[in-house]
Amino acid sequence: MLKSTDTFNLRGDPALFVGGDWIEADDREEIELINPATEDVIGLVPVATARDVKAAISAADAAFRSWRGTLPITRSNILRKAATIMRENAEGMAQTLSREQGKIIAEARLEVQTVADLFDWFAEECRRSYGRVVESRVEGVKLHVVQEPVGPVAAFCTWNFPGLVPARKIGAAVAAGCSIVVKAAEETPGTAVHIVQALEAAGLPAGVVNLLFGNPAEISTILVDAPEIRMITLTGSTRVGKLLAKQAAATMKPAIFELGGHNPVIVFEDADIEKAVAHSAAAKFRNAGQVCLAPDRFFVHEDVHDAFVDRMVEYASELAVGEGVKDGIHMGALTNRARLDEVTRLVDNAVAKGAKLCFGGARIGNRGYFYSPTVLTDVPDEADIMQIEPFGPVAPVQKFRSLDDAIARSNSLRFGLASYVFSSSIQKIDETAAALEAGLVGANTCAVSHHEGPLGGVKESGYGREGSIEGLRAYQITKLVAHNVLS
């Protein structure tokens, strides 16, 4: 393990990490790594073979046998050391993240800091994984309830938060005493490589964390079917979640699914409009709208609708859009061409069906995946954007009259990840929050993701929770030991 005075420079070159060894491409296939702001090829990502995946499973299984018995303080110290290493290399990590994913450098720096803070959180939480002793109704029998690691984990990560998404899974698994095989996103490999390098430098034993890139369907099939893998966790689309849930059910593997949403925002007539726009617009256009918790459907009371829209348009018009690593930029590029094409399609579909384009509505330039911050009003229910998560910088707005109307529209879809409400009435906020079908509710704020609080959805937005004590317990089993002390 590195001493506190040692330094370690992280590099984000794409590579696989299996059983403590970094594996370059050699004779493997490679995927081009594209900078979304320039469309330049900036690297090549090695594609894991079936043999690589099986080797990662074997490494995780072997490492778990010893790692599960380590003291919580040992796990805690390694997580803390990794967090320190990441902070020492924060700028390089942020530059890699921004260049590969497209988000602005300020958001990338914040994400790196959040990853380090998350590791610190689990470093503390793993020391507080308490069991309990229960008095039984049988004389002389003591009931001991203990928490144990579930076993080797398979984790599947999306590209929109290439640091935070894998860190939530790795931090919790390592803290709980599990080993883990991470299938990270090929679009944004560098940040995951940085995280694993920091753990390696911090003294994490070989095989506890393994990192793969490649064909998602092929890798997931091998991982989920493997008997050595005891749990799966996915942050991704509802479509993929359903496929993995069906596959996991065949071997009764527990799972955490943090899936897609289509998050409503309710703005009541008594809301502070300036603050409502400031919070919801910042959340809407953050990471070019590529955030699972982003506000997606805006329901604004008819009495304040026009004022809200005017201020939203003003906010959108003031955003400087450009390459994320440059100074003075407020919003970067979409991460890939597919997202640019889908956002364009959704806006065009809405306008064709009668929506009013108040601002934006077009690609910016002809190089890079940039799309203008966009505001739509009078959006009909039958427009695709009211049914499909846009995952882009588009704010569709509808009017409503009554609380019941707003609740009905908010709960009308099969998703239930996050919901937001803005009002000056505590009673109205409490009533609305209770009625909304969502795993997270923000009241006069859109900041609902916290290390200290659980994160996850309901309905087709998934099940299980990440973060908080629930996020640690998800990687543990609860075992009962009944001890007859009289025999």
Contacts of 5 (CB under 8 A, 6+ apart): none
Distance CA(237)–CA(216), nearest Å, equals 13
- Catalytic residue, chosen from 157, 292, 358, 446, is 292
For 99, the enclosing helix (H) or strand (E) is helix 90-101
Residue 432 has pLDDT above 90, yes or no: yes
Query: Which of the 8 DSSP states describes residue 320?
Result: -
Question: Contact 261/389 with Cβ under 8 angstroms?
Answer: yes
257-282 average pLDDT score: 98
For 427, the enclosing helix (H) or strand (E) is helix 426-435
Question: Contact 10/202 with Cβ under 8 angstroms?
Answer: no
Question: Contact 283/373 with Cβ under 8 angstroms?
Answer: no
Confidence of residue 265 (pLDDT cuts 50, 70, 90): very high
Residue 2 has pLDDT above 80, yes or no: no
Query: Is residue 258 annotated as a catalytic residue, yes or no?
Result: yes
Residue 157 has pLDDT above 80, yes or no: yes
For residue 158, the model assigns a pLDDT of 97
For residue 483, the model assigns a pLDDT of 93
Per-residue burial over 313-331, b = 16 or more CB atoms within 10 Å of its CB, e = otherwise: bebbeeeebbbbbeeebbb
232-253 average pLDDT score: 96
177-204 pLDDT, tens digit each: 999 999 999 999 999 999 999 999 999 9
> What residue spans define the domains of the chain?
16-259+461-481, 263-450
The CATH T-level fold of domain 263-450 is Aldehyde Dehydrogenase; Chain A, domain 2 (3.40.309)
Query: Is residue 88 annotated as a catalytic residue, yes or no?
Result: no
| CA angle at 410 for the pair 406 and 412, rounded to the nearest 5° | 115
For residue 425, the model assigns a pLDDT of 97
Percent of the chain at pLDDT exceeding 70 = 98
Query: Which of the 8 DSSP states describes residue 68?
Result: T
Residue 4 has pLDDT above 70, yes or no: no
> Regarding predicted confidence, which is higher, 3 or 87?
87
Confidence of residue 13 (pLDDT cuts 50, 70, 90): confident
For the record, the structure tokens of 198 come out as 């920091």
Confidence of residue 9 (pLDDT cuts 50, 70, 90): low
Fold match, 16-259+461-481 / 263-450: no
Residue 11 has pLDDT above 70, yes or no: no
The CATH T-level fold of domain 16-259+461-481 is Aldehyde Dehydrogenase; Chain A, domain 1 (3.40.605)
293-345 pLDDT, tens digit each: 999 999 999 999 999 999 999 999 999 999 999 989 999 999 999 999 999 99
Question: Contact 436/134 with Cβ under 8 angstroms?
Answer: no
Confidence of residue 487 (pLDDT cuts 50, 70, 90): confident
Q: What integer best gives the mean pLDDT of the chain?
A: 96
Place of tokens 């509505």: 361
- CB-facing half-sphere around the CA of 69: CA atoms within 13 A: 4
Query: Which of the 8 DSSP states describes residue 46?
Result: E
36-59 average pLDDT score: 97
> Regarding predicted confidence, which is higher, 5 or 371?
371
For 124, the enclosing helix (H) or strand (E) is helix 105-125
| CA angle at 224 for the pair 218 and 228, rounded to the nearest 5° | 120
- Catalytic residue, chosen from 200, 258, 460, 466, is 258
Per-residue burial over 333-355, b = 16 or more CB atoms within 10 Å of its CB, e = otherwise: bbbbeebbebbbebbeebeeeeb
Distance CA(246)–CA(120), nearest Å, equals 34
pTM of the model: 0.95
Contacts of 2 (CB under 8 A, 6+ apart): 8, 81, 85, 201, 202, 203
